[in-house]
Structure 1
Amino acid sequence: MPVNLCITLVLALTLIFLQNLLLAADTQQHPKPFIVTSVSPITNIVRNIGGTHIHVIGIVPDGTDSHTFEPIPSDIKTLQAADMIIVNGLDLELPTLKLAEKVKKTKTTILRLGNRTLREEDWQYDFSFPREHGHPNPHLWLNIELVMRYAEIIKENLSTLDPANKESYQKNAATLLAKLQKLDQAIFRCVETIPINNRKLVTYHDSFAYFAPRYGMTVIAAVQPADFSEPGPQEVIGIIKQIKETGVPAIFGSEVFPSKVMEQIAREANVKFIDQLSDDELPASPNHSFIGMMTNNMTILTEALGGNPTCTANIDASNIAF
């Protein structure tokens, strides 16, 4: 090989090496903010607002019972590396938060969305979350008005953490909020199509405490006791009696909380049993999003209670690019 060609090749390779070195150094100096989240709906909302400017890992796997979830050893490194930790709060993620407080970086903020969204006097206590146990019902995210507040809080805190990309966070949040507003309106329309006497909910897990009052429904009962065990015979008899007295046409469970007792209750009460509602498990693609989860829920719930399931037909459940 001619000497001049060798020199040219060496120079070219050296230039590529130096460019890669500079790129690596720049990446180390200006890395994407690393955000650790908890349940899938919150993870999805954070990803939609953060877009391509952040790196997100959800600690609680999709489809896992968030109430009984315990972090595993590998989660220690994840929490140690976090620039911000975003959780629901209201005592939902206590084991994860306890670990995070021990291992996180000093400057890392833990953002409890529920605690910043709802005043303590507005926390809900119920059959699955009795006041005497001291832990409120944490399922704020099934109320879209409260989710929109979540989105605002996430936008504000990402902008503070990473002001260079504030404009992008604001734009993504505005897009998401517009979608959530349409979803909120659609849920009202769905409930309006349900006969008034059917606007009642019996669920396995008590997830709809904040959903029901916003959209004009009533939670009649939740089957799962406060200790997340199966209900006893007397509790089952009581629930069957309630269903018969109130005329509820269907009862609801989910794959995250499999329970044969729900089938028994439905059979004894002579009502439909629907096991497809989701508290926090996102559906498969193409609608693998929080909005997709809520759209599926409303389609299933509305039809089961005698309403018109086409009320969700025009909802955009797609994610913002991330």
Structure 2
Amino acid sequence: MKLATYRIAKFFLCLLPLCLQNPILAATADKKIEIVATVSPITNIVQNIGGKHIEVTGIVPDGTDSHTFEPIPSDVKILQAADMIIVNGLDLELPTLNLAKKVKRPETAILQLGNLTLKEADWQYDFSFPREHGHPNPHLWLNIELVMRYAEIIRDNLIMLDAANKVSYQKNTATYLTKLKKLDQAIFRCVETIPETNRKLVTYHDSFAYFAPRYGMTVIAAIQPSDFSEPGPQEVISIIKQIRETGVPAIFGSEVFPSKVMKQIAREANAQFIDQLADDELPAAPNNSFIGMMASNMITMTEALGGNPTCIANIDASNIAF
């Protein structure tokens, strides 16, 4: 028995120099899970859950219109190398999703977070996403309650893929959920400081369909039509009339969706124009995170609508160590 043990030990000792000479063999045990995500908020949420055990590549560049984004040839190799592909779903990333299905490895799972979070009966349709076009509003991540479900889905699927690091994924998720709960509560506090008559949103893009009902606000109008063009004259006149009738004090645009007509609409409707709301563009460091994006949104929105932006002051927007 001792001789057999000695021979086995000697065999593995002989292999050690080979492993050291071959970095591929030596690094196998430490290889990170390769995850491909899409828009920046999803990519950041995945990174916070996976932490140091995963390598995340976001296909959609920060600040790019995710609705019109088309993957480039170099994305094929990225998708082929993925151990898991995580998208928002609800038809947001159809070109990327269709390409992924064609080129991914057979064993690579594709998670469509929105489809796993909401039943079809709960999908929202609106001005930018009319029901007759068949594509629901996909912006679930602006509702923090739904993001908590995203985090749990990501955690559970990372554990299935990489059970060896289960405890780390569970710990990261618990930490992240605590941060999200504090953010969720802070958003409610922010809205409560806004005069009730001002709790109305006019935005360029229809991003807040799931946000507004969660936090007690009403979406009055969106400027951008469903074909992502500029609105026509009759649509502009109708929006100006709505803003005047409802007394909305401010309307919100975004650098990602530049619009030539929003300043005109604000001027004609006697409202302030704010072009700093973001739905898929993360802020610069030190708050370069999904939570940082939402905190920045609430400061901007609350102040413009007559509320007290200090409601968000104690939010921790830092990322979990990667």
TM-score range, shorter chain: over 0.9
- Cα distance, 1:19 vs. partner? 6.0
CA-to-aligned-CA distance 1:166-213 (integer Å, 9 cap, x gap): 100000000000000000000000000000000000000000000000
Letter matched to residue 71 of structure 1: P
The aligned residue for residue 140 of structure 2 is 140
Q: Is 1:249 matched up with 2:258?
A: no
What is aligned with 1:179? Answer: 179
Partner residue, 1:48: 48
Aligned partner of 2:91 in structure 1 is 91
Identical aligned residues as a percent: 80
The reply to whether residue 125 of structure 1 matches residue 125 of structure 2 is yes
Query: How far apart, in 1, do the equivalents of 2:20 and 2:260 lie?
Result: 58
Where does residue 61 of structure 2 map in the other structure?
Answer: 61
* Aligned partner letter, 2:130: P
Aligned residues: 309
Question: Which letter does structure 2 place at the counterpart of 1:61?
Answer: P
* Counterpart mapping for 1:1-322 below 5 A: 18=18, 20-21=20-21, 24-28=24-28, 31-322=31-322
Poorly superposed stretches of 4+, deviation over 6 Å: none
What secondary structure, in the 3-state scheme, does the structure 1 residue paired with 2:261 have? Answer: helix
**Which residue does 1:8 correspond to in 2?**
none
The letter of the residue matching 1:236 is V
Distance (whole Å) between structure 1 residues aligned to residue 50 and residue 172 of structure 2: 7
What is the rounded CA distance, in whole Å, between the counterparts of 2:297 and 2:246 in structure 1? 22
Secondary structure, counterpart of 1:99 in structure 2? helix
Equivalent pair of 2:36/2:84 in contact (CA under 8 Å): yes
Aligned counterpart, 2:9: none
Q: What is the TM-score when the length of structure 1 is the normalising length?
A: 0.94
Cα distance in 2 for partners of 1:20, 1:294 equals 46
8 Å CA contact 2:35, 2:56 repeated in 1? yes
The CA deviation at 1:24 is 3.4
Instruction: Report the AA paired with residue 203 of structure 1.
Output: T
**Deviation per residue, 1:222-248 (Å, 9 max, x gap):** 000000000000000000000000000
**Cα displacement (A) at 1:113:** 0.2
Cα distance in 1 for residues equivalent to 2:30 and 2:284: 34
Q: What are structure 2's unaligned runs of at least 5 residues?
A: 1-14
Q: CA shift at 1:32, angstroms?
A: 1.3
Distance, in Å, in 2 between the alignment partners of 1:265 and 1:17 is 71
CA drift at 1:20: 3.0
Normalised by the length of structure 2, the TM-score is 0.94
